[in-house]
Structures are given as structure tokens and as C-alpha cells.
Chains A and B, each alone.
Chain A
Amino acid sequence: MESIKKLSYQSSLFFHFVSKKQTVYIISLCVIMLIFSILAITFGSYGLSIIDYLLGKTSQIQNTVLTEIRLPRVILSGLAGASLGISGAALQGLFRNPLADPGLIGVSAGAALGATLMIVLGGDLFSQNSLGIFFIPLAAVAGSSLVIFMLYFMTKGFGYEGVTYMLLVGIAINAIAGVGIGILTYISSDAELRSLTFWTMGSFGGVTWPLLLPVILIIIFSIMVMIPYARQLDLLQLGEPEAYRLGVDVQRLKYVVIMTAAASVGASVALSGMIGFVGLIVPHLTRLLGGVNHNYVLPGSALMGAALMIIADLMARTIIQPAELPIGLITSAIGSPFFLWLIFKIKKL
């Protein structure tokens, strides 16, 4: 056995099993995302030009709007879209179920409950502690991890037979989290209530660099950890016993996907609130575009999620300018009919 150069799947080259066509799609998505970002930075209730900024022709106030308001907002919307997209894709692969979505199975609700708990009950912690700003993201990650572990144990390790069961568990978890958030809303003070209300509707507004930095780190780290497991997720589609026979440490794969999905969804929910259906739609669009293998679907979903979220956020803040639509409203309005269509298409649930 020494004669074989052995290496784990994780170390396989990134584009190892990605076709040329898929490489083109990934690069195009990258370009589209960048174009959308530039558009999103340029347009808004306050007109800006990146070219002027680079040439130094902008005023002090324009600079501040660009670097302190517009840029963090675009980065957050992109990261939130990327994290929801890739987590949806990875969870769908892990559950071997095209209907898995961080929102549907209660992961986002768990994150929301965690964050709400921190907003309402942890108020003193923020003001007295310099690390206070990390507490909301951490609480959200804890909430989402808790939900995913509950799902894991209740569905006996995400067994394929437990698909309907899993979605029902998700509904129950969503309801429980709703009750928790309701109670917390009820006991919150006026100031807390205000921040809670805006937060639960989902918005990328009001984000600042100190809040954003830990989220950037968590989401990018999660994505970097997740992508090398793409081939193992492909093998998992043959069934857990088969994946194992092909050399996949299934248990480890499950924990990695669960933890990274929970961490990145938790982090994005902590800052932007619950944004429905992105984690469901984006992986499907990505698969429709270029194929089902995870080496393509994972990075593709991250890029497509980022691009769509950036443009959706631009729409949210320009359609009824200068007022702003909640982003969650837009994604749900587009996503729920898509979800219905998907259910009719699959039917075999």
C-alpha cells in the first residue's frame, strides 16, 4: 500500500472536476457580482461616482458616504447572499434533499432567537465590554448551531428517510423560535423594541465597519472551509454507506458542513436579520445554469447569492427612494412562488 501516493479528497485541486463550461460560469458570476457591486455603490438616494472618488474629485461628505455607509452595506449584502447561497447548497447536499434551506429548517430562526436574546437581555454586556459588538454574532451562531444539532439528532443523522420529518421538525423549530422572539419582544424596552423590529425585517442598513469585520472573517472562513469538501458532498449523494466505501469520513463531513453553515448563516443573520428563501433559490438557479456537481455548485452558489443579494439590496433602497423596502420582503416575494413551483416539480416528497 506504500506504493500509492495517498492524499485525501480535501487536497484535490479546486477545479479538479469542474468542466470548462462551469469554469466560464463561475468567472462570469464573479464579473457580474463585481458589476453589481459597482452599481450598488454608485446608485442610491445620494449619487456617487467611484471614478470621481478614485480621481480624488469627491468632497469630504461624499467620501464618508462611500467608505462608511455605502461600501460596508454592499459588502454585507454580498457576504450575506454568499453565506446563504453556499450554506443552502451545502445543506441540500448533506441532507440529500433539494428542499433544505437554512430558513425552512429553522436555522435562521435559531440564529434570530440567539441574536434577539442578546439584544434584549444582554444590553448591559455591550456597553460595559469592549468585545460587546461580537456578542450578537456569537449568540446568533450559537442559536443556529443549536438548531442544526437538534435537527441532526431528531433526524438520526439526517437519514434520507427522514426528509418530511426533518421539514416538520424545521416548522416546529421555527414556531418555537417565533414564540421566544415574541416573548422577548414583549418584555423589551422601547429602544430595544425599535432595534428589534428593524432587525427582524431584515436590512443591510446601518452597518458599520467594527460590526462588519468579525462577520467578514466568519463568513469568508466558513466558505473557505466548506468549498474543499465539495467532492465529498458529491460522493455522499450515493448514500452514506457508499460515500464511506469511497473513502469519505462521513461523520467528519457532516460536522464540518453543519458547523460552517451554522456559523456563516448565524453571522449574516446577526447583522442583516432573517432573509428568507435565498438559501433555497440560489443553489437551484446555480444547478439549472451549469450542473449539479458540488465543486461547481458551492462556489457558484456563493457568487450567485452575493450578486443577487447586492442587486436586491440596490432595488430595496432605490424603488421607493428615499424610503427603503425591507430586503426580506423582496426575497420572500420572489422566493415563495419559486418554492411552490419547486414543490410541484419534485412532488415525491
Chain B
Amino acid sequence: MSISAKSISLNLGGKKILKDISIEVPSGEILSIIGPNGAGKTSLLNVLSGNLNAYNGLVSYNNIPLNNISIQERAYTRAVMSQFQSIAFDYSVRDILEMGWLDYNFERIQEDLISFQQEIIEECDIQNLIDQKFNTLSGGEQRRVHFARALIQLWQPLNTEDQKYLLLDEPFSNLDLVHKVKMMNSIKKRASSGTGVLMILHDLNLAYSFSDKIVILKNGKLVEKGKTKNMLSAKLLARAYETFISIDDNPINIRYY
């Protein structure tokens, strides 16, 4: 089971954004996309999430072509956290969290929601923020709330084993050290319980110490993809980023100049 993209090409406004890219986000694994600005990382994520549909190629969730899956069903299969804009009205953090709750039409939905929310809220360390207005939070706090919302979206009823996926665009931006580690642990926990994770990362050390697989994009093309240990090559990274790069193996430390 996986979210997969087969030979995706995307043109926007006459510009070739993605050229013949195939990747797979298997369940239970963490896949990181790295690459310089303008490489097409976010566009690729938008294609995978179904937001962009003017592409050539095939996207499928759990082997079902995306076109055959309704917009609602897609929401049950994958949650996305991206870079956010401000919200026009004064929603509370609780309101924002509830937005991640998909409608399962259960009888006692409120209690179910509240107990599940409680776990996620503690996991994301946002207990103190819950009754504040979302727009008054700092950037890092807003990220944590949106991450919690994405986790709530991935909730599933007991005794079901649907494969779910988490797509994250720069999840750690604006986060302090402690919360970065907490969020990493949350993501690892999801992956080890079967969720497929795709992340766009700029911090190479984070990407290499944390992912099962790495995909390197540059100028809309796939440079290389593979298991993390096979991708740890200064030459390869230097080719992608066009700068001098050196690597210490133990512990992994990638330096760029």
C-alpha cells in the first residue's frame, strides 16, 4: 500500500515545473524530499494531495487512481500540513483543531472527539493554547496547532486498518529545539504504526538522520532517490545544490559552504 506518483509532468503558465517524476510513499515509512528552492518540491506535494490536477501521469492512493476517489474519501486517506496564511476571523485553537475532524456520522461524536483531541493536544504540547485565538499565536505555535489538526484528520475508527498518509511541507519551520524533537517523535510514532509520511525538508542533517528514504529534486527533475544510507554522498548533494559539501559519517554531519 502506498501513495504513488508515476511519471508526473506538470506545466504551469508555460513553465515546466515537474518533469517525468515517479515516487512512492509506502505506508510505515518516512520519505523526505530535499532539493534547492524552485526544485518543484511543493508542487509535487500538491500533485500528490490532489490540489493540482493539470498534470500528466498517474497518482494513486492505495493502488486506486486518484480520479476514482472522491474529494471526501481523499480526506480520509491523507492529511496535509503546508505553509499557512492568516485566518480572517477570530477562530479559537479549539475551532481549528475541530476542523481536522472528518465527519464519520457516529452517534456520540462529541465525546469521541474530545477524548481523542485530548491525546493529540498533549502529544503536540498545546494544552495552554487551546482556548486562545489562533491569530494571536506565534508562528511556531500555529505550526503545532496545524500539526495537531493534521493528526486529528488521520483518526480512524477502532478495528479498521485503512492505510493513511501524512504529507508535510517544512513541518519544523519556526519550531524551537524542544518542539522540533517532539514533533519528530510524533511523526516517527505514526510511521511505526503504519502511516506513510512524506516530508519536504531543507535541513539536510534532519532529513538524513530521520528518513527511511530520500528523494532529491532539482529544476523539476528527479536527481536521485533511494534508501537514506545509499543517498549519503557529498558528490550527489553537491550536484543537487551546486555548492561544496562535506560529510562526517559518525555521527552524520553534513556541512555546506
Contact = CB atoms under 8 A, between A and B. Distances in A.
**A and B physically associate:** yes
Interface of A: 1, 3-9, 11-12, 16-17, 92, 96-98, 160, 234-235, 237-239, 241-242, 244-249, 287, 292-293
Given A245-B78, A247-B76, 12 more contacts: A3-B162, A4-B156, A6-B73, A6-B76, A17-B98, A96-B88, A98-B88, A234-B91, A245-B74, A245-B75, A246-B153, A249-B71
A143 B209 CA distance: 61
Which 5 pairs from chain A and chain B are nearest by CB? A247-B75, A292-B89, A247-B72, A7-B105, A3-B160
Contacts of A248: 71
Contacts of A17: 98
B89 A287 contact: yes
Residue of A16, A239, A242 ringed by the most chain B CB atoms within 10 A: A242
Q: Which bracket fits the contact residues of B?
A: 35 or more
Residue of A9, A98, A238, A246 ringed by the most chain B CB atoms within 10 A: A246
A293 B95 contact: yes
B71 A244 contact: yes
Interface in B37-94: 46, 49-51, 62, 71-80, 82, 84-85, 87-91
A234 B160 contact: no
A1 B160 CA distance: 9
Interface of B: 46, 49-51, 62, 71-80, 82, 84-85, 87-91, 95-96, 98-100, 102-106, 109, 153, 156-157, 159-162
Given A4-B76, A245-B49, A246-B153, A160 B95 contact: no
Contacts of B90: 287, 292
Given A98-B88, A237-B88, A246-B100, A6 B72 contact: yes
Contacts of B98: 17
Contact of A234 (B74, B76, B85, B95): B95
Q: Is the interface of A mostly helix, strand, loop or mixed?
A: loop
B109 A246 contact: no
Contacts of B77: 1
26 contacts: A1-B73, A3-B157, A3-B160, A4-B156, A7-B103, A7-B105, A9-B103, A11-B103, A11-B105, A12-B105, A17-B98, A92-B88, A234-B99, A238-B96, A238-B99, A239-B85, A241-B49, A242-B82, A244-B71, A245-B78, A247-B74, A247-B76, A292-B89, A292-B91, A293-B91, A293-B95
Contacts of B99: 234-235, 238, 246
A98 B46 CA distance: 29
Nearest to B133: A292
Contacts of B88: 92, 96-98, 237
A245 B80 contact: yes
A12 B71 contact: no
Contacts of B78: 245
B50 A98 contact: no
B84 A239 contact: yes
A44 to B, nearest CB: 39
A246 B102 contact: yes
A209 to B, nearest CB: 39
Contacts of A242: 80, 82, 84
A108 B189 CA distance: 54
